Amino acid sequence: MAEKVIRTIGVLTSGGDAPGMNAAIRAVVRQAIARGKKVKGIKRGYAGLLQEEIIDMDAHSVSEIIQRGGTILQTARCLEFIEPEVQKKAADICKKHGIDGLVVIGGDGSFKGAQKLAALGINTIGLPGTIDLDIACTEYTIGFDTAVNTAMEAIDKVRDTSTSHERCSIIEVMGRGAGYIALWCGIANGAEDILLPEKYDYDEQKLVNNIIEKRKHGKKHHIIVNAEGIGHSASMAKRIEAATGIETRATILGHMQRGGSPTAKDRVYASTMGALAVDLLCEGKTNRVVGYRHGAFVDFDIDEALAMKKEIPEYEYQIAKNLSI
């Protein structure tokens, strides 16, 4: 059977936004043009696709966006996309607009949608766009580097005032059920405790004992980095203050971690992934997801990628604990 010829490539961003998504969009558009393809942008993810919010894109459409956070195509979650009849409607809309190849930038949920469209005859390539770094097939996701640097800089500032007032500070970072932002910030910020959903045993007495012990040894502050998958930082702070007698404050960094100008790494890696997605479509590939492993950009079957499991690196976790003494 002859490979499907791709003439028009669509691109959408789905789920939570991440810095670097614009760099990926720009790369998809310009690489496609360089390969002689037309490009259509789909606004607001799968929700926008169902509403036919589809625009023509050219090189000018993506001028001056590589340095911008967020996504110029906007994004949304689309819970109804799990329904087979909704998936068929989306595939029919793609065909109506001449979209025979689609690049989906998002997380695991977005890839599941791409998987369904591939089964309905739309060639799809997924790009890992999430600040959470929770996609198992890749060591890098678009937006993680910027998000972790944003959080690190914020924690540095909290640390300054925490030291001045000899406080305990609990700083809650994003990541949903994954602790990668918390782990990286814990190491980068020299936190005394790091609470990860994958590791935390909810024994607050250990935290209390550690705070008291470190204070005896002359520590002027105590930084606890708490992943949002554990959460409840404000109530935790009250309990710790009551148990230790040490002033304890909670800071929830929240959505500031999703915004901001992307780092060089996020711009370069997102650009490379976007261009590779176009190349894969031009080769007739479908139902693939682009990743980064062992120093190289690679691609996997989406079914295989979704079946993979990801765990917190044990060595990095042990380092974080050893360096916190």
The mean pLDDT of the chain is 96
> pLDDT tens-digit profile of 193-234?
999 999 999 999 999 999 999 999 998 899 999 999 999 999
**Is the pLDDT assigned to residue 2 strictly greater than 60?**
no
- The verdict on 81 and 222 lying in the same domain is no
- The verdict on 182 and 235 lying in the same domain is yes
Q: How many CB atoms lie within 10 A of CB 234?
A: 13
Q: Distance (Å, rounded) from C-alpha 168 to C-alpha 191?
A: 11
CA 86 to chain centroid = 26
- The verdict on 157 and 247 lying in the same domain is yes
> Is residue 322 in some structural domain?
no
Which among 132, 134, 266, 299 is annotated as catalytic?
132
Q: Distance (Å, rounded) from C-alpha 56 to C-alpha 239?
A: 55
Q: Span 28-42, mean pLDDT?
A: 98
Q: Please give the share of the chain, as a percent, with pLDDT higher than 70.
A: 99
> pLDDT tens-digit profile of 303-321?
999 999 999 999 999 999 9
- The verdict on 191 and 217 lying in the same domain is yes
> Is residue 251 in some structural domain?
yes
- Provide the residue range defining the domain that includes 169: 148-258
> Would you report the helix, strand and coil content of the chain in percent, each value rounded to 5?
45, 20, 35
Q: Span 60-68, mean pLDDT?
A: 98
User: What pLDDT is attached to residue 325?
Assistant: 84
Q: Give 173's DSSP letter.
A: E
> Is residue 267 in some structural domain?
yes
User: What pLDDT is attached to residue 1?
Assistant: 41
- The verdict on 152 and 137 lying in the same domain is no
User: What pLDDT is attached to residue 4?
Assistant: 81
Q: Distance (Å, rounded) from C-alpha 284 to C-alpha 244?
A: 63
The CATH number assigned to the domain holding 78 equals 3.40.50.450
What is the number of domains present in the chain? Answer: 2
User: What pLDDT is attached to residue 18?
Assistant: 97
**Is the pLDDT assigned to residue 88 strictly greater than 90?**
yes
> pLDDT tens-digit profile of 128-152?
999 999 999 999 999 999 999 999 9
- The verdict on 230 and 170 lying in the same domain is yes
CA atoms within 13 A on the CB side of 162: 24
The CATH number assigned to the domain holding 217 equals 3.40.50.460
- The verdict on 160 and 137 lying in the same domain is no
**β-pairing verdict for 38-42 and 8-13:** parallel
> Is residue 139 in some structural domain?
yes
User: What pLDDT is attached to residue 230?
Assistant: 97
- The verdict on 135 and 283 lying in the same domain is yes
Which residue, 167, 127, 94, 111, is CA-closest to 307?
Answer: 111
> Is residue 229 in some structural domain?
yes
> Is residue 92 in some structural domain?
yes
Sequence-ordered list of residues with C-beta below 8 angstroms from that of 134, at least 6 positions apart, any chain: 107, 108, 141, 175, 176, 177, 178, 180, 310
- The verdict on 210 and 155 lying in the same domain is yes
> Is residue 105 in some structural domain?
yes
C-alpha to C-alpha distances, 26 to 55, 66, 214, 269, nearest whole angstrom:
14, 7, 49, 12
Specify whether the CB–CB gap between 211 and 244 falls below 8 A: yes
Concatenated DSSP letters of 271-313: HHHHHHHHHHHHTT--SEEEEEETTEEEEEEHHHHHH------
> Is residue 300 in some structural domain?
yes
- The verdict on 110 and 188 lying in the same domain is no
Catalytic (active site) residue 132: yes
> 53 in helix, strand or coil?
coil
- The verdict on 64 and 31 lying in the same domain is yes
Sequence-ordered list of residues with C-beta below 8 angstroms from that of 198, at least 6 positions apart, any chain: 178, 179, 311, 312
- The verdict on 100 and 242 lying in the same domain is no
One-letter amino acid for residue 179 of the chain: G
